Amino acid sequence: MKTKIKKLVILCALILYYGSVFSQSNDFKKNGSLTGKNIIHFSLAPDIAYNAAAIYYDRVISQNDRLATFVRVGFGGWHTLLVDGGTNVIGQGGIILGSNNKRFEASAGVAYQN
């Protein structure tokens, strides 16, 4: 279990080190849309007492110039000094509201933690 978390943390660190990622760049937008159709993003929380890493995939289902709906799936792992560690899997649905550089994102879903 600990080896999986270490590998996931190393993978995330290498990807972040490789180059900058601009998740809301104007160059990525096509035809005035809010976002691209497929989005992959990472979360890394390094700390002495608690470490976590996760990877997420978002798929935009529908969008117009002010509203987009999406689904998100993710997988991650965590480790603490006192409690050991585990993995989690999430599924969410959500919306993105706004235009230009002013946006609001909200989502809700379920998570399974092992």
> 9-13, 63-67, 103-107: which has the highest mean pLDDT?
103-107
How many angstroms separate the CA atoms of 8 and 14, rounded? 10
Q: Which pLDDT band holds residue 28 (cuts at 50, 70, 90)?
A: very low
Mean pLDDT of 68-81: 90
How many angstroms separate the CA atoms of 56 and 52, rounded? 13
Within the chain, what is the greatest distance between any pair of CA atoms?
A: 51
pTM: 0.63
Mean pLDDT of 103-114: 91
Who has greater pLDDT, 34 or 92? 92
How many angstroms separate the CA atoms of 74 and 77, rounded? 10
Using the predicted structure, report yes or no on whether residue 94 has a pLDDT greater than 50: yes
